[in-house]
Structures are given as structure tokens and as C-alpha cells.
């Protein structure tokens, strides 16, 4: 069996690539061809999850990414959370929005789940910590104070 190039599959692959990036998606699809276990799963997830669900109207890709981050963190699905955190960034989810999603997740799914989300976010969003100008400069300590 080979992955069929139906319109449903093609549409799902397009959405999947847009969200997760072709460098993530294409190897998964390519490596599944001819594999009796993986190929049906890749075909199914591409057509159903990405084509039928992610491709639906009603929510934007950004909104779907935001929901997915919260759900994957709550369910402790860290491998998928890493991939979807990259997808969220691709879909325009900001670091501030991720922070708020994970704080909200913390309240309903617990601290460990939220902190797994924070770890995934830090891999993708690298916030720069900047100090006020007065703290960025090295403080000179008078010699008589040492």
C-alpha cells in the first residue's frame, strides 16, 4: 500500500506543512512509505487530523495551535507538544500568548503539565532578558569597600 495522493490527503499535507513545517512533515511521510504499521497511520493523521479537522472553518490555525498547546500540556504529551509549539510560532502565536495559555493550563491541569509546556516553549521561543540600563552597566565597587 502506498500513501494515496487524494485531494483529501493533499489538502491535509498542505495544512500540516504550513503548521509544522515541511522539514518536520516530509521525512515522516517519506519514512512511512511501504511500512505496514506507519503508512496507514500517516495517511490517517494527514487526511483526518490535518485535512478534516485542522482544515475546517470556524477556528483559525492560530486558534487551533493555542488550543493544541493547552491540550497537549494537560495530557502530558511532551513529544507532540514540542512539535506543536513550533507550529504555534509558525501560526503567529506570540510568546506572551504562550505564557498566558500555560498559566491558564497550570490552573486546570497542574503545575507539572504547565512546566512541561514552558520547557517546550523555551526550545522555540527564546526570550531575551534585558535589564534596565542602570543594571546593564557594571557596578563599580570602590576599592575601600572591598
For a pLDDT cut of 90, what percent of the chain falls above it? 81
Q: Are residues 47 and 113 in the same domain?
A: no
Residue 113 and residue 65 in one domain = yes
Count of domains forming the chain: 2
Q: Mean per-residue pLDDT for 74-83?
A: 94
What is the spatial distance between Cα 22 and Cα 26, in angstroms, rounded to a whole number? 5
Q: Are residues 41 and 99 in the same domain?
A: no
pLDDT at 139 over 60: no
Instruction: Look at residue 74 and tell me whether its pLDDT is greater than 50.
Output: yes
Q: If you average pLDDT over residues 67-95, what whole number do you get?
A: 96
pLDDT classification of 1: cutoffs 50, 70, 90: very low
Q: Which of 37, 56, 75 is the last residue of a domain?
A: 56
Cell of 31: 519514512
| 51 and 98 co-located in one domain | no
pLDDT digit string, tens, across residues 42-59: 999 999 999 999 999 999
Average of per-residue pLDDT across 107-128: 91
Are 45 and 13 part of one and the same domain? Answer: yes
Per DSSP, the three-state class of 46 is helix
**pTM as predicted:** 0.80
Domain boundary among 56, 72, 96: 56
Q: Are residues 10 and 42 located together in one domain of the fold? A: yes
Grouping H, G, I as helix, E, B as strand and the rest as coil, residue 72 is helix
**Roughly how many angstroms between the first and final C-alpha of the chain, as a whole number?**
76
- Domain limit, last residue, from 15, 34, 56: 56
130 and 77 in one domain? Answer: yes
The answer for residues whose C-beta is within 8 angstroms of residue 133's C-beta and 6 or more apart is none
Residues 33 and 72 in one domain: no
Q: How many CB atoms lie within 10 A of CB 110?
A: 13
Size of the chain in residues? 146
Does residue 138 or residue 32 have the better pLDDT?
A: 32
- Mean pLDDT (whole number) for 12-24: 95
pLDDT attached to residue 126: 82
Grade residue 38 by pLDDT with cuts at 50, 70 and 90.
very high
Q: Are residues 41 and 74 in the same domain?
A: no
**What residues make up the domain containing 83?**
58-146
Amino acid at each position: 500500500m502506498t500513501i494515496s495522493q487524494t485531494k483529501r490527503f493533499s489538502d491535509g499535507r498542505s495544512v500540516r506543512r504550513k503548521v509544522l513545517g515541511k522539514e518536520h512533515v516530509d521525512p515522516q511521510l517519506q519514512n512511512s512509505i511501504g511500512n505496514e504499521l506507519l503508512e496507514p497511520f500517516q495517511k490517517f493523521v494527514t487526511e483526518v487530523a490535518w485535512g478534516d479537522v485542522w482544515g475546517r472553518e470556524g477556528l483559525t490555525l492560530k486558534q487551533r495551535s493555542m488550543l493544541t498547546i493547552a491540550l497537549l500540556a494537560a495530557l502530558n504529551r511532551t513529544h507532540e507538544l514540542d512539535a506543536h509549539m513550533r507550529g504555534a510560532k509558525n501560526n503567529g502565536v506570540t510568546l506572551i500568548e504562550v505564557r498566558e495559555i500555560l498559566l491558564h493550563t497550570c490552573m486546570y491541569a497542574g503545575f507539572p503539565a504547565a512546566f512541561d509546556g514552558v520547557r517546550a516553549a523555551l526550545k522555540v521561543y527564546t526570550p531575551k532578558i534585558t535589564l534596565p540600563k542602570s543594571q546593564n552597566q557594571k557596578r563599580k565597587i570602590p576599592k575601600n569597600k572591598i
